[in-house]
Amino acid sequence: MYAHPGAERGDRPDSPPDRERIVDSPGATLQRVTVVGAGPYGLAAAAHLNDRGIPLRVFGEPMGGWRSHMPEGMYLKSSPLSSSIASPRPGHRLQDFAAIEGRAPRGLRDPVPLSEFVRYGLWFQRYAAPQLERVTVRQVDRASDGGFRVVLESGEEFRSGAVVLAVGAAEFAHMPPELTALARDGLASHTADHVDFAPFAGRHVAVVGAGQSALESAALLHEAGARATVLARTSALAFDEAPWTDWPEERPLSERLRAPNSLLGEGWPLVASCKGPAVFRHLPEDVREQVLRTVLGPHGAWWLRDRIDGAVSVRCGTSIASAAPDGAGGVRLELRGSNGSSRLLRVDHVIAGTGYRVDLGRLGVLSPDLRREVAVTVSGAPWLSTRFEASVPGLFFTGLSAAPTFGPLLRFVCGTGYATGRISAGVAKRLKRVRRG
């Protein structure tokens, strides 16, 4: 049963709304659903499935990606008003959590610290997915009975009628080819590899990229005592404009008409991204990829500008032509300017803030045979139905894995609202079909 905040105080939880129930029993293995992942998307999916009374097992480390692949001192790029995990019941927004901690809700000009968001996610998990098992799923494969065989690191195996994959972003961290050899030697890494930049104090680190991850990492490196140099292909760094007010409705009407409010920020392209995931799915693939690259493309949050300007060395219009160990424990970079010029840069380490690229071939939790059955886009991302179901019946993807199908909204926490209701409905329909069969 889905619990509410009062449950921790001993109050009786509200009963879930009257809906069709799928009753579990020892022989009804195909009526069970498995959720892999316990970040915002996995927890939101579990909350909605629990609310429907669907037998469920949930696996993963709660908020594991946020705790193990994001640096201390980080802030969320999305606004506090757009950073709540979707719940089928009221009372579980980030604002509600702030009240429980005795704080006023944050406005647009008060970014959310990573530490606070992790605490919120752990709180949400206790109510939304109390049955969470902190065990790693080793592999998901097809089962002979039409469902799936799930194998845990503990050695346990069981059958499941449907699987929801909410694996997060770290699986898809993109390392530029020119840095892969250095990464094997420990001389290069991805921003997702770090939770603490203190070990880089006193060292010179090149940060590749012009997006939020790269720029915030550069700022945190500087603040940890490192010398950071940003290498960006863009002609200039871009930052959001600071909000006029803490509350969107306080913006002047003329400004709201020119650039309407949305969960992702201000402007018609962002409104379209929030309102039109179903339409996005029908766009030609090359158009979808272009939108993913350009809408909310590489730029930093408004509150980062002062931490970069004058503090971090920035070289725009620059790409890495080659990279190799320098023989003295560091890295020798050959940089190529947009005008064709070339120069050398010696650093102690390179960090790639080059984002994430969904490629099913990198998702080791799926068996090779099952991966081959899943229809993918040209870029290798799973192609999903309107209810987030892959071409393999009963296999659902959510979060970043779904962004190539549904658009930029699925790259942010606020996308949980669009995804989870559709996934829970799709799962219920799938299990009902299996039961009738």
| Contacts (Cβ under 8 Å, ≥6 apart) of 118 | 63, 66, 67
> pLDDT band at 3, cuts 50/70/90?
very low
Residue tagged 């009372």 (tokens): 91
Q: Is the pLDDT at 211 greater than 80, yes or no? A: yes
Domain residue extents for the chain: 5-172+356-436, 177-239+299-352
* pLDDT score, position 23: 37
**Average confidence (pLDDT) over 218-233:** 98
Comparing CA positions, the residue from 400, 361, 347, 353 lying closest to residue 70 is 353
Superfamily of domain covering 177-239+299-352 = FAD/NAD(P)-binding domain (3.50.50.60)
Q: Is the pLDDT at 24 greater than 60, yes or no? A: no
Q: Is the pLDDT at 9 greater than 50, yes or no? A: no
> pLDDT band at 432, cuts 50/70/90?
confident
> pLDDT band at 28, cuts 50/70/90?
low
- What is the average pLDDT score of the chain? 91
* pLDDT score, position 175: 96
Q: Which neighbouring-strand residues pair with 188?
A: 350
Residue 405, number of CB atoms within 10 A of its CB? 23
Tell me: the pLDDT tens digits for 324-361? 999 999 999 999 999 999 999 999 999 999 999 999 99
**Average confidence (pLDDT) over 282-293:** 92
* pLDDT score, position 408: 94
**Average confidence (pLDDT) over 430-437:** 72
* pLDDT score, position 434: 67
**Average confidence (pLDDT) over 360-386:** 96
Q: Is the pLDDT at 116 greater than 60, yes or no? A: yes
Whether the CB-CB separation of 191 and 176 falls below 8 Å is answered with no
Comparing CA positions, the residue from 50, 52, 123 lying closest to residue 84 is 123
> pLDDT band at 18, cuts 50/70/90?
very low
Structure tokens at 53: 């009374």
Q: Is the pLDDT at 5 greater than 70, yes or no? A: no
* pLDDT score, position 187: 98
| pLDDT more than 70, % of the chain | 92
Structure tokens at 90: 């009221």
| Contacts (Cβ under 8 Å, ≥6 apart) of 139 | 150, 151, 364, 365, 366, 367
CATH for 5-172+356-436?
A: 3.50.50.60
5-172+356-436 and 177-239+299-352, same CATH topology:
yes
The one-letter code for the residue type at 79 is: S
Whether the CB-CB separation of 168 and 356 falls below 8 Å is answered with no
> pLDDT band at 433, cuts 50/70/90?
confident
* pLDDT score, position 25: 42
Q: Is the pLDDT at 7 greater than 60, yes or no? A: no
* pLDDT score, position 1: 33
Q: Hey, is 25 helix, strand or coil?
A: coil
* pLDDT score, position 27: 42
* pLDDT score, position 435: 64
**Average confidence (pLDDT) over 380-395:** 97
Lowest mean pLDDT of 18-22, 242-246, 418-422, name the range.
Answer: 18-22
Question: What residue ranges in 25-133 does DSSP mark as E strands?
Answer: 33-36, 56-59
* pLDDT score, position 210: 96
Tell me: the pLDDT tens digits for 34-58? 999 999 999 999 999 999 999 999 9
Whether the CB-CB separation of 392 and 410 falls below 8 Å is answered with no
